[in-house]
Amino acid sequence: MMNYDETLHYLYNALPAFHKIGVAAYKEGLDNTLALDTRFNHPHRAYQTIHIAGTNGKGSISHTLAAIFQSAGYKTGLYTSPHLVDFRERIRVNGEMIDKEYVVDYVARNKEFFEQLHPSFFELTMMMAFCYFESQKVDIALIEVGLGGRLDSTNVITPELAIISNISFDHTQFLGDTLEKIAGEKAGIIKPHIPVVIGEAGTPEVRAVFLKKADQEKAPIFFAEEEQPLLSATKSSTGWVYTTKEYQQMEGELGGLAQKKNTVTVLSALKVLKEKGFKLPDTAIYKGFREVTSLTGLMGRWQIVRTHPKVICDTGHNSGGIQYVAEQLQQETYRTLRIVIGMVNDKDITAVLQLLPTSAIYYFTKAAIPRALDEHLLREQAIPFGLQGHDFHSVKEAVTTALQDCNPDDLLFIGGSNFIIAEALPLFQ
């Protein structure tokens, strides 16, 4: 029987993994998922679920809601992707990562079946999560969509609530080249009579897509930004202090600018969940917002990993996410801004580069995955946007050099891709 490391190697190398190779791993349709679901006897029906889709923010929203449910005494499953440092981050119960033994045993028991079916890495790990949650007898599981919605493997669940955080351009080769087409794919998680919360519709055209789908499914629909549950947000030394209609003052641990929008979405979702009969006392809501990272293990959301010099990691990786990063960098004080950046080769790179500050010194690099964009190419593409710097063959080399160049009052930002953060974080632990 394989040990844990051998099992992981098998998962990554025997199955097409989108996070590593991109397009070639994408399997359209739910055939494999339905076959897996039948084989394991629909494990997700053993507990309640909440389904979270959207271009940006779904990780923060999923983790915050998980922290609140945990704090309210629910045994809470959390399935997210991709992971940053450890594969097991994807599958958690009450913040604890899945047992290594379970991963090994699950693959060993079902390897023969997997080899006949040829599921993708995502399909298999998602079903592993569903089975693990059933074995752990969770009360509720927060399920984050992998890509899109309509044809995403996670769309086999019938949740208590669907949440769509926002729509911006990402994965356009699968989801479409207009915001309306992308919204149409995300709207695929709207199910008959199941309420849906839309965090940020953005445009009237996108709003119309959601309204039409909700009408077809007779699903109650709520637009968080129209409900305005958040009265004000003030920066604190650690994150945010929110004033809300329902909970007065509340501390938010997650510090990025995007968290204001995410908080509006979470507050709207909580209102619907309470109306559905979930017992979520105010104390649990305060604690979930205040302690989300320690309760759930969330990393890489405007995460300050060092103070002198200040080093910040953020997983924003498309124009929607980088827009917030660029805004937030303007609000920081520093002597020199240094940016370690790398991207994957299937993103709209120019949309991101045009948002980045021209005053920074850049350290262009690439993650150790086949999907990574070559660091020389990235540097060359950045020149027309006035972004100057050198390229480095590895994330470690780029981060190490940037730190050596830093004065104590400089700011070093690391980002551009989940995979850059995944390689950078262990350098600070």
Tell me the domain boundaries of the chain. Answer: 4-296, 303-428
Q: What is the rounded average pLDDT for all residues in the chain?
A: 91
pLDDT in tens, 190-227: 999 999 999 988 889 889 999 999 999 999 999 999 98
Q: Do domains 4-296 and 303-428 have the same CATH topology?
A: no
Q: What is the pLDDT of residues 17-64, one digit of tens each?
A: 544 445 454 556 688 999 999 999 999 999 999 999 998 899 999 999
Confidence (pLDDT) at 385: 97
Using CA atoms, how far apart are residues 70 and 66, in angstroms rounded to an integer?
6
Token pair belonging to 200: 């940020």
**Quick one: tokens of 322?**
């980088």
- Inter-residue contact 224 to 265 (CB < 8 Å): yes
CB burial of 82-105 (b: ≥16 within 10 Å; e: otherwise) equals bbbbebbbbbbbbbebbbbebbbe
- 394-428 pLDDT, tens digit per residue, is 999 999 999 999 999 999 999 999 999 999 999 99
Kindly report, residue by residue over 74-118, the tens digit of the pLDDT: 999 999 998 999 999 999 999 999 999 999 999 999 999 998 888
Q: What type of residue sits at position 396?
A: K
Task: Name the DSSP class of 84.
Answer: S
Pairwise CA distance, residues 350 & 116, whole Å: 41
Write down the pLDDT at residue 25.
45
Question: Is the domain covering 303-428 a CATH 3.90.190.20 domain?
Answer: yes
Give me the percent of the chain exceeding a pLDDT of 70.
Answer: 95
How far CA 82 is from CA of 91, 115, 281, in Å, comes to 11, 23, 31
Q: Where are the beta strands (DSSP E) in 301-403?
A: 303-307, 310-313, 337-341, 361-364, 388-391
Average pLDDT over residues 147-159: 86
Work out the pLDDT band at 364, boundaries 50, 70, 90.
very high
The residue that leads in pLDDT, 351 or 396, is: 396
224 vs 370: CA distance, rounded Å: 38
pLDDT of amino acid 21 = 43
Burial tier of 199 (Cβ tally within 10 Å: 0-12, 13-18, 19+): buried
Q: Which residues contact 181 (CB under 8 A, 6 or more apart)?
A: 175
Decide if pLDDT at 318 tops 70.
yes
pLDDT of 270 strictly over 70? yes
Nearest to 230 by CA among 181, 171, 179, 289: 289
For domain 4-296, the question of CATH label 3.40.1190.10 is answered with yes
Question: What integer pLDDT is reported at residue 174 of this predicted model?
Answer: 55
Q: Shortest CA distance to 144 belongs to which of 219, 65, 74?
A: 65
The answer to whether the beta carbons of residues 321 and 258 sit under 8 Å apart is: yes
- Mean pLDDT for the stretch of residues 314-336: 89
* DSSP H or E stretch at residue 296: helix 292-296
Closest CA to 63 of 231, 263, 225: 263
Q: Does pLDDT of 12 surpass 80?
A: yes
Helical (H) or strand (E) element with 128: helix 121-135
